[in-house]
Chain A
Amino acid sequence: MKSDPPATAGHSVETVLRGIPASPGVSIGRVHLLIAERVHVPPHKIAPSEVQRELERFERAVGQTRAAIERSRERALTVAGIAVGKIFDAHLMILDDVVFQQQVRARVEREQFSVDYIVNDVLGQNIEIMRKQPGETFRERAADIGDVLNRLLRFLRGEGDVMPQSFSEPVVLVAADLSPTDALHVDRHLIHGIATDQGGLTSHTAILARSLDIPAIVGLGNLSTQVHDGDSIILNCNSGKVILHAGAATLAEYRGKQERYLAFQSALENLKDLPASTTDGHEVQLWGNIELPFEAESVLAHGGSGVGLFRSEFLFLTRDTVPSEDEQFDTYGKAAEILAPRPLVIRTFDLGGDKLHGSINIKQERNPFLGYRAIRVSLSRRDLFRAQLRAILRASRRGNVRVMFPFISGLEELREAKAVLAEAAAELTRERIPHDPHVQVGIMVELPSAVMMAEQLARECDFLSIGTNDLIQYAVAADRGNEAVAAYYRSFHPGVVRMIDLTVKAGHKAGKPVAICGELGGNPVAAPLLVGLGIDEISTNSTNIPEIKKIVRTLSYEECRRIAARALRLDTAAEIQDYLTGELKKRLADLPIWFS
């Protein structure tokens, strides 16, 4: 990283820095520096008669802060998912720390200072201790406590909740790091880009910037110490490049890039209500993957025509107890109503493996990925499974609900799961509880044995859906989370491409549609291949839908089939990937993935 060059007579020299591209786009503007220094709160003495009033002020501010954090938590869950939502769970725990609250009360009574001063002092000490500890976790915890402290102080001063944002022109926000609260409440009409010193691809700033669709670069080292308010700044968030004090030529170049990028985005926007059909009229369904009911709205907003994977285990991840049938009915029903009449495919709980939970007693296993997970847990915990299936059957009256069983290795599990479903339906009928007994039943094809049995499986269910993440990892026996073997995890491994091909052919032979719901579905390079192999539905994160739709609408089914046939004849993952990349680049030169 270059340091600031010596400025000569008020003119600064063009400077380039590199960081991690966290959310795509190009932004050009003026720096607004957000300095997250702790505010100074002077020790203000109070009279003994004022102690009671101070304590009441504290109670009120804690209540207001709690409500504000809960609102942030809801918003975070809606816009950014569980990982960011959990940050605010931590904030609630910090706010409700009994010892902290006791200390504040005791010290206000004993020392007779304003509660603002005491709160700042108590939490400030905690922050200082955390900051002295080594490691990222403590830095984050210190930032969490700082975030709670700032909100509490704002409410104590009667200033309201979030940072004021009144800029006369669009700005690029530069900060050492953004607090989760500030990141969550960024107004994208005023803030056209975010650049931070800290953070990685999975930091809350990166996740939120992507969800809010604001171009962002993180991990820039010491950018915030090199700039001043009003400096000219360019962010190429497709490549991670930051340019300070750009000259006229550079500015013109980036204006051009920005225009191309925006033109592409608005072209995507125009596709929203159009079907994903090839130039020769072959239609593919583009569906979204969700883990919260409200995300169904985002799928529709991005032009999706259904939800191909609702990860129901999210119900376990935000709490410590088993979700009740009624709660599940409510959750599934909400998502179904948002989508109706478009389909909602609910995958039954995929617990175990890397998704463990306290309320289900899963013993530590030597090899959890080959162990007790998903349908295996459901089939041995009938109480849980039956409650979930009853909730799904009931919810299906509120929309177009389908059920999908994960981790099916062969016909035995499918038959057993279907039997439990039939029992659940019979129970509901006996209890005269309204439900729709005719929900479609499908399975995830994510185990090599299911690929080999795909035709028989397809005959006994209504649809197949290929879960590429697990299928790849089981096919090549490589855990992609394990750095030592991650290189063996190749999405375009010829073995994997053949498995997809086999599954599609088998499904179609049985007259059943075949979907794909793994990450491969969101990969633009894979789209012509998947369409050409005959995949009927591609289910992916909603933000990927417009781009995949653009690709599908640009190509003909005939050329997709040729591309797929050629890919099937190539020998290695690298050859297939290079070939697919080349074919896509030829046809779509303005995809943002090429801008780096």
Chain B
Amino acid sequence: MIQKEIVLLNKLGLHIRPAAQFTKIAAKYKADVYLIRDGMRVNAKSIMGVMMLAAGQGTKLALECIGEDEEQLCNELMALIENKFHEE
């Protein structure tokens, strides 16, 4: 299992479009992915789950990847977050 602390730097946070980009990547992998915010843990392959986190700009989250391809998955998601979801 890989666990990472992340901070959302993009303007929209995990609004529906960024959330869709996130879940699209998550769905490609076998590993399970979770996002955790203040004790709320959601399946990051679910767009409704991700939206439920109400994660706006500046939100701190924990990202958890569990499964055989967890490392590539984690890397791809981290790259998306670091590139601010290509918003700007």
Q: Classify chain A's interface size.
A: 20 to 34
Q: Does A138 touch B at the CB level, under 8 Å? A: yes
List the B residue with the shortest CB-CB distance to A96: B47
Secondary structure of the A side of the interface?
helix
Given contacts A93-B16, A362-B88, A364-B88, contact A145 B46 (CB under 8 A): no
Closest partner residue, chain A, to B53 (CB atom): A133
Nearest B residue (CB) for A133: B54
Per the bound structure, the CA–CA distance linking A78 and B33 in Å amounts to 38
CA A90 – CA B23 in complex, angstroms? 13
* With contact pairs A93-B20, A356-B87 given, residues A99 and B54 touching in the complex (Cβ less than 8 Å): no
Q: Which of A90, A94, A98, A359 contacts B27 (CB 8 A)?
A: A98
**Is B49 within 8 A of A99, CB to CB?**
yes
- Interface residues of B, dominant DSSP: helix
Known contacts: A93-B16, A98-B27, A99-B43. The answer to whether A145 contacts B48 by CB under 8 A is yes
Taking CB atoms and an 8 Å cut-off, the chain B residues in 31-60 that contact chain A are 43, 45-49, 51-52, 54
Bitwise, A300-328 to B at CB < 8 A (1) or not (0) is 00000000000000000000100000000
Within 8 Å CB of A130, what residues of B?
51-52
Q: Provide the bound-state CA to CA distance between A336 and B40, in Å.
A: 53
Residues of A within 8 A of B48 (CB): 94, 97, 99-100, 126, 145
* A90 near B86: Cβ-Cβ < 8 Å: no
Say yes or no: B47 contacts A93, CB within 8 Å: yes
Question: Whole-angstrom distance between the alpha carbons of A135 and B56 in the complex?
Answer: 12
Closest to A138 in B: B54
Q: How far is the CB of A83 from chain B (nearest CB, A)?
A: 13
B36 to chain A, nearest CB (A): 16
Cβ of A43 within 8 Å of any chain B Cβ, yes or no, is: no
Chain A residues within 8 Å of B49, by CB: 99
Query: 8 Å CB contacts to B: which residues of A217-250?
Result: none
Q: How far is the CA of A358 from the CA of B18 in the complex (A)?
A: 11
Interface membership of A363, Cβ < 8 A: yes
A100 to B86, CA, bound (A): 27
- The total of Cβ contacts below 8 Å across the A-B interface reads 47
Q: Does A361 contact B (CB under 8 A)?
A: yes
| Closest A residue to B43 using CB positions | A99
Residues from 398 to 446 in A contacting B, C-beta threshold 8 Å: none
Q: Which residue of A lies closest to B26 (CB)?
A: A98
A137 at the A/B interface (Cβ < 8 Å)? yes
A141 B51 Cβ-Cβ under 8 A: yes
Bound together, the chains give a CA A99 to CA B21 distance in angstroms of 15
| Alpha-carbon distance between A138 and B52 when the two chains are bound, in angstroms | 8
Which residues A338-384 have CB closer than 8 A to chain B? 356, 358-359, 361-364
Q: Tell me, in angstroms, the Cα distance from A500 to B49 when the chains sit together.
A: 52
Question: How far in angstroms is the closest Cβ of chain B from A45?
Answer: 27
Alpha-carbon separation in the docked complex, A84 to B84 (Å): 25
- Give chain A residues whose Cβ lies under 8 Å from the Cβ of B88: 356, 362-364
Question: Is A163 in contact with chain B by the CB < 8 A criterion?
Answer: no
Q: How far is the CA of A325 from the CA of B58 in the complex (A)?
A: 39
In whole Å, how far is A111's beta carbon from the nearest beta carbon of chain B? Answer: 19
- Closest Cβ of chain B to A142, distance in Å, is 10
CB-CB < 8 A to A97: which residues of B?
23, 46-48
User: Contact mask B1-30 → A, CB, 8 Å, 1/0?
Assistant: 000000000000001100011010001000
User: Shortest Cβ distance from B61 into chain A, in angstroms?
Assistant: 16
**Alpha-carbon gap, A14 to B47, bound state (A):** 47
User: Is A201 close to B, CB under 8 A?
Assistant: no
- Nearest first, the 7 closest Cβ-Cβ pairs linking A and B are A99-B46, A358-B86, A364-B88, A126-B48, A99-B43, A93-B47, A97-B47
Known interface pairs A99-B49, A129-B52, A358-B86; 20 further A-B residue pairs with C-beta atoms within 8 A, sorted by A's residue number: A90-B16, A93-B20, A94-B47, A97-B47, A98-B45, A98-B46, A99-B43, A99-B46, A99-B48, A126-B52, A130-B51, A130-B52, A137-B15, A141-B51, A320-B21, A358-B85, A359-B86, A361-B86, A362-B88, A364-B84
8 contacts between A and B (CB under 8 A): A94-B48, A97-B23, A99-B45, A126-B48, A126-B52, A133-B52, A145-B48, A361-B86
Interface residues of B (CB under 8 A from A): 15-16, 20-21, 23, 27, 43, 45-49, 51-52, 54, 84-88
